[in-house]
Amino acid sequence: MSRMPDPLVVLLLVGWVGHAYLWTAQLNYLYARPISKPFLKLWRLFTGLVILGFPLLLAAPFVATKPVPPDQPDWSLFPTQAEWAWMAYMAVCLVFGGVVFPVVTVIRLLRRPPAALVSVRADTLDLWTELGPAVVGNGKYPWVARLPLNDVFRVDFTELTLAVPGLPPVWDGLTILVVTDVHFHGTPARAFFDRVVDEVERRWPTPDLVCLAGDYVDTDEHHSWIGPVLGRLKATEGRFAILGNHDEHHDPERVRKAVVEAGYDLLGNGWKEVAVRGERCTVVGHEGPWFAPPPDLSNVPSGPFRLCLSHTPDNFYWGQRHRVGLMLCGHVHGGQIRLPVVTSIFVPSVYGRRFDCGVFEGGGTVMVVGRGLSGKEPLRFRCRPEVIRITLTRPTAVSDSPRPGRAVD
């Protein structure tokens, strides 16, 4: 007969989960802000040690207790201020570990796909199987890329069909290729990216638009990859780009120059009015909060549809306030590590896991958050890199269509 788990052990584990939840939440928030890179590195290490050190924190009051001499009164029955603080923090950990975290997780699992999502399909290409060790390269942490169960070389080619409110009739069937977070630093190797572009050209040779959502380099030596890799992506109506937070650390002006030379309209924190299939469109770039000031849309014409490239999905509510119809984002990489049931954990967003990946809709704005194609750390678990091709359609054209199943995130 199986033995029931010790209630104290269960409380310890629940408290530990709550402790980890609280510290990961503040780490997510800090990584979403324009804070210095050295500080963030140290703080991430400190946060990891604090999370792992929960048993020591739990034992602290008992270790710190001193024996009372027989000739002095015993005040140990009355908690000190430090002990009150310890008990309060333990209670908070139990609430977050036993109530908040499970409730948030259940809500995430039960949320329905947004009305704008008509269909989603993803085909996976395993480049390790196809190219072998040649995809590893000589960048940061190549040994991590070789770990078992790592999905870093298994690329999803995701096709989304979106019914976007306010879409001009002439844009019905318009296609947009979205590539974000390539993070060139040597691992994955150049052969990995060349093969991904080969596959894009085979599957989706001529999209109407190509949109790059930032984070191109993670060293000062890989700017030279931008043109030969991303310059190959072609479009019939226009190619647009913005920068991301990692580009800020590696000579951003040099990054901008390379992106422009690759043939892209670099939006920065600005906007441009263009014609797409003969219809006016305002294309907006939002590189904030890392590049300032944010875009000023006070003089943007009110009529044309607004398409926004935003590196982080944290600008979703900004997009709603500024009547953006479609927002394309990256930055958060889907969390890179997604556990069964729990899904993502570390997501560099002020909203935590809310916008980790997938399609979101609210306030008249539809937002697509890609998982990115690479990352500074070549580690992904149950979170494959991806390239996205979006096909737009008008809501009236799909109003009688059946609802899709749960969105693939």
> Do residues 390 and 368 make contact, with C-beta atoms less than 8 angstroms apart?
yes
What radius of gyration, in Å, describes the C-alpha atoms of the chain? Answer: 24
Nearest CA-CA partner of 355 in 314, 386, 327, 387: 314
- List per-residue pLDDT tens for the chain, 409 residues long: 456 567 888 999 999 999 999 999 999 999 999 999 999 999 999 999 999 999 998 887 766 555 556 655 544 555 677 778 888 999 999 999 999 999 999 999 999 999 999 999 999 999 999 999 999 999 989 999 999 999 999 999 999 999 999 999 999 999 999 999 999 999 999 999 999 999 999 999 999 999 999 999 999 999 999 999 999 999 999 999 999 999 999 999 999 999 999 999 999 999 999 999 999 999 999 999 999 999 999 999 999 999 999 999 999 999 999 999 999 999 999 999 999 999 999 999 999 999 999 999 999 999 999 999 999 999 999 999 999 999 999 997 554 443 333 344 4
Cα-flanking dihedrals φ and ψ of residue 360, to 5°? -135, 155
User: What residue ranges do the domains of the chain occupy?
Assistant: 7-66+76-109, 114-398
**Single-letter amino acid code for the residue at 220:** D
Distance CA 372, CA 222 (A): 18
CA–CA distance, 313 with 323 (Å, rounded to integer): 15
pLDDT for the residue numbered 397 = 54
- Superfamily of chain region 114-398: Metallo-dependent phosphatases (3.60.21.10)
Which residues make Cβ contacts (< 8 Å) with residue 180, sequence separation at least 6? 212, 213, 214, 215, 244, 311, 328, 329, 330, 331, 370, 372, 373
SS3 318: helix
Name which of 20, 119, 92 is nearest 405 in CA terms: 119
Q: Are 304 and 280 within 8 A, CB to CB?
A: yes
Give the model's pLDDT for residue 232: 98
Helices (H), 65-164: 81-95, 101-110, 127-131, 142-145
pTM for the full model? 0.91
